[in-house]
Chains A and B, each alone.
Chain A
Amino acid sequence: MVTTLPDARLARRIAEQVPDPELPMLTLADLGVLREVRVGDDGTVVAELTPTYSGCPAMAEMRADVAARLRDAGFDRVEIVTRLDPPWSSDWITPEGRRKLTEHGIAPPGPAPHRAAGPVPLVLSPTRRTVHCPRCGSADTEETSRFAATSCKALWRCRACREPFEYVKEI
C-alpha cells in the first residue's frame, strides 16, 4: 500500500475559500487572514491564521470553519495555528477583496500608515482622507463615526448620494 502526503495546494485552495464570518463577501484569503498552508512530515495539514485585531471575536469561528472545511474535503489530520508575527495589516486585503467590498457597499481601506521607529506621533490637526462612496463613486464623503459594528470598520456618509456606508479602516 502506498501512502501519499496530502496535497498542500489542494488544502490551500479549500482553506482559501472559507468566508469571513463578519464580512462574508470576503474569503479568509481575500482578507489576508489566511497565511501559510503546509503539510507536516506526519501528513498533518497546518493552516496559519493571523488575527485582524487582538480582540477579534471571530477568530474562534474562523479556526473552526477552516478545520471543518478541510476535514470535509477529506483531510483527516488538520491543525489550525495562530500566527501573530507580523501583525495583520489592512494592506493584506487583496485587490479581489477590495473589489468585492466595494461591490457590497463597503469602501476598501487606503494604504496603512507607515510607522517609523521611535514614539508614535499624535496628530491633532484634521487629517484629510479621500474616501470614495462605494455606491456612487463621489469623493464628497465624510466620517460619521470612527468606530462601527466591527473593530475593522468606520461609519461614513456620502454627501452626493446621501447614502451612509461602512469603510474598512487602515491599520
Chain B
Amino acid sequence: MSDDHVYMTLAEGHEDDSRWAYGTGFEDPLHGVDTTVPDGVDAAELAALCVALGDDALVQAQRLGEWTTRAPELEEEVALANIGLDLLGQARLLYSRAGQADGTGRDEDAYAYFRDADHFRNVRLAELPNGDFAFSVVRMLLLSSWRLAQFQELTSHPDPVLSAIAAKGVKELAYHRQYAAEWSVRLGDGTEESHRRMRAALEQTAPYLGEMFTAYDARDEVVAVLRQVTDTAGLPMPVYRPLPGSGRAGEHTEHLAPLLAELQSVARAHPEATW
C-alpha cells in the first residue's frame, strides 16, 4: 500500500466489495458498532421504525437533490444539496440499523434500491413534487420541525444505536429547520407575490400534518414553530382538514413511484456492478 491516491486506497481496501459503482457504502456505515439489540427492545418494531424514518429522509433527500441546477441562486442550491446530504446520511445509518435489527442482514442498498413504492413507509409530504421554492421551504419547515421533535425523544431510546443516530441528527435537523424558518419569514414578509406563494404552500402542505401527527405526535412542537414563523412573517396559520390515508401504511400518492424509478434506475440496471 504505497499509493497515496485515495481511489487506489479505497479499491485496495475493498477488493471484495463489488458494488460501489453507484456510490453506496464501501463499508457498512455502522461498521464496528455493537449491533446487539438490547433486551426489552422489540427488534421488529425497532427495524420498522428505522425503515420509516430512513424512508422519510431518503425521499426528502431525493427531492432536495432535484433542486440542483434549478434553485433560485447558487447559494440556495448548495444549501438544499447540503441538507439533502445530511438526510441521506441519516437514511444510510437507519437502513443499516434496520437490516441488523430485523435479522435479515439486508444492507442499506436493499432498502433504498430494491423495494417498490408500496413497501416504502415515508409520510406523503416528503414525496410530493417540489413545486416552487416556497413549497419546498414550507415542506422542509414542517418535516424538519416534526423530525427534530421525534429525534429528540429518540435520543433516550433504549437501543443505543438508534439513540446515537438521533443525537447526531438533532444537531443537523436544528439547522435545517433554521434555514426553512428564515426563508419562510423572508418570503412571507417579502413581496406580494412571495407572500401569496407562502400562503398557498401552507395550505397545500398542512393537510398532510394529520398523517404525520398520527405517526408521531409532535403537534405541540410543530404548531408552536408554525405559529412563531407565521406571526413573524405576517402569514395566517393554515386551517386544514387532514387527508385520509397514510404513507406509514404504504399508501402513497402517484408521485412516489416515478421518484423511486429515477432513484433506483442505475442500481437496478446494474445490480452487481463494479466500477
Contact = CB atoms under 8 A, between A and B. Distances in A.
A134 to B, nearest CB: 20
Given A64-B26, A122-B177, A147-B78, A57 B85 contact: yes
B21 interface: no
A84 B228 contact: no
B32 A60 contact: no
Given A80-B32, A171-B171, A122 B178 contact: yes
Contacts of A56: 89
Contacts of B13: 63-64, 67-68
Interface residues of A, number: 44
B27 A63 contact: yes
Interface string B153-169: 00000001101110111
B10 A61 contact: yes
Nearest to B13: A64
Given A54-B169, A55-B85, A68-B12, A146 B179 contact: yes
Interface in A35-86: 46, 48, 51, 53-57, 59-61, 63-65, 67-68, 71-72, 79-86
Contacts of B26: 60, 63-64
Contacts of A85: 160, 163-164, 167
B85 A64 contact: no
A120 B218 CA distance: 13
B51 interface: no
Contact of A82 (B14, B33, B160, B175): B33
Given A54-B93, A67-B13, A72-B1, A119 B221 contact: yes
Interface of A is mostly: loop
B109 interface: no
A54 B181 contact: no
Contacts, number: 133
A144 interface: yes
Nearest to B33: A82
B6 interface: yes
A81 B90 contact: no
A120 B152 contact: yes
Contacts of A122: 177-178, 181, 225, 228-229
Interface size class of B (residues with CB under 8 A): 35 or more
Contact of A124 (B25, B163, B228): B228
Interface in A141-168: 144-149, 151, 155
Interface string A79-113: 11111111110000000000000000000000000
B112 interface: no
A6 interface: no
Contacts of B167: 84-87
Given A53-B172, A119-B149, A124-B182, A68 B82 contact: no
Contacts of B172: 53-54
A60 B13 CA distance: 10
A27 to B, nearest CB: 15
Nearest to B3: A68
A34 to B, nearest CB: 14
A144 B75 contact: yes
B29 A59 contact: yes
B32 A82 contact: yes
Nearest to B82: A147
Interface in B207-251: 221, 224-225, 228-229, 232
Interface of A: 21, 46, 48, 51, 53-57, 59-61, 63-65, 67-68, 71-72, 79-88, 115, 119-120, 122-124, 144-149, 151, 155, 171
Given A55-B86, A146-B79, A147-B79, 8 more contacts: A53-B89, A54-B172, A59-B29, A60-B26, A60-B27, A63-B27, A72-B1, A147-B78
12 contacts: A53-B86, A53-B168, A53-B172, A54-B93, A55-B85, A64-B13, A85-B160, A85-B164, A85-B167, A123-B178, A124-B185, A145-B75
